[in-house]
């Protein structure tokens, strides 16, 4: 089953370049810039974005898991893998592939702020417009999308489709 295109490869490329330009302007002259990607989904976005950023930066990774995903009652988040080097005093830009309820990002921002970074900003390629359950500000957003099941460009369905070069829509079985 071939996912139906929601955002084409060309549109992603164009938008990633725009975001990189915007970040470059905002962070020009800043030291200790850290791009912190949330695994697994953000790995492709990070790779494309980072290679277009002239601002000196380092990359870090975290893996988070959430329980009761999709249920309003739970949504607890746990750190599965943490950064390797301290972010204290750094200008951190969290890189996400998708914001759904906002719970993962809210948790992560609150956690990072306890570690005394110089600043924390957020960047996500897509956001599901009508799904947010908690308030979380996205400083750099690629696209707002409707509440459909999306895959590709890092996003998976049962670990499939992550390396699809575009963002497509699939109908999960049972839905
Ligand atoms: C996705 C995405 C975010 C989170 C967003 O990760 O990368 O981290 O869900 O959802 P929320 O806004 O409702 O918290 P996922 O759990 O699918 O893990 P993966 O990136 O490893 O596929």
pLDDT tens, residue order, the chain (175 aa): 799 999 999 999 999 999 999 999 999 999 999 999 999 999 999 999 999 999 999 999 999 998 766 545 466 899 999 999 999 999 999 999 999 999 999 999 999 999 999 999 999 999 998 888 998 999 999 999 999 999 999 999 999 999 999 999 998 876 5
In a domain, 161, yes or no: no
Ligand 1 atom 8: residue of nearest CA: 104
pLDDT at 174: 66
According to the model, what pLDDT value does residue 68 have?
A: 60
167 assigned to some structural domain: no
- What residues line ligand 1, using a CB cutoff of 6 Å? 38-41, 66, 96-104, 156
Please indicate, yes or no, if residue 160 is contained in any of the structural domains: no
Among 37, 68, 97, 172, residue to substitute to test ligand 1 (most atoms within 8 Å of Cβ): 97
DSSP readout, 77-130? EEEEE--SS--TT-EEEEEEEEESSSHHHHHHHHHHHTT--SEEEEEEEEEETT
Residue 100 falls in the annotated catalytic set = yes
Q: Specify the pTM.
A: 0.95
Burial class (CB in 10 A: 0-12, 13-18, 19+), 146: exposed
- Within a domain: 16: yes
pLDDT the model gives residue 73 = 47
CA nearest 4: which of 103, 146, 127? 146
Cα-to-centroid distance, 18 and ligand 1 (Å)? 24
The parent domain of residue 118 ranges over 8-148
Give me the phi and psi of 25, to 5 degrees please.
Answer: -65, -45
Centre of ligand 1 to C-alpha 128, Å, is 12
Report CA-CA distances (Å) from 159 to 11, 26, 78: 24, 35, 20
Within-domain flag for 168: no
Distance 29 CA to ligand 1 centre (A): 32
Task: Tally Cβ neighbours within 10 Å of residue 39.
Answer: 15
How many domains does the chain contain in total? Answer: 1
d(C-alpha 5, C-alpha 166), whole Å = 7
Residue 109 sits in a domain whose CATH number is 3.40.50.2020
H or E element in which residue 4 lies: strand 4-7
| Nearest residue by C-alpha to atom 20 in ligand 1 | 41
- Which of 74, 96, 104 for mutating ligand 1's site (highest number of atoms within 8 Å of CB)? 104
Q: How far is the CA of 45 from the centre of ligand 1 (A)?
A: 14
Say if 27 falls within a structural domain. Answer: yes
């Amino acid at each position: 089953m071939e996912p139906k295109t929601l955002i084409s490869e060309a549109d992603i490329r164009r938008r990633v370049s725009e975001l990189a330009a915007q970040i470059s302007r905002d962070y020009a002259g800043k030291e200790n810039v850290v791009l912190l990607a949330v695994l697994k989904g953000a790995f492709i976005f990070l790779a494309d974005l980072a290679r277009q950023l002239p601002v000196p930066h380092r990359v870090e990774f975290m893996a988070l898991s959430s329980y009761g995903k999709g249920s309003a009652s739970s949504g607890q988040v746990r750190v599965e893998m943490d950064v390797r080097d301290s972010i204290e005093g750094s200008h951190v830009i969290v890189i996400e592939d998708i914001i759904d309820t906002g719970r993962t990002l809210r948790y992560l921002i609150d956690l990072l702020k306890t570690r005394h970074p110089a600043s924390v900003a957020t960047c996500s390629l897509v956001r599901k417009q009508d799904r947010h359950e908690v308030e979380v500000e996205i400083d750099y957003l690629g696209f707002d999308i409707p509440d459909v099941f999306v895959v590709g460009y890092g996003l998976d369905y049962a670990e499939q489709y992550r390396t699809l070069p575009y963002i497509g829509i699939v109908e999960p079985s049972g839905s």
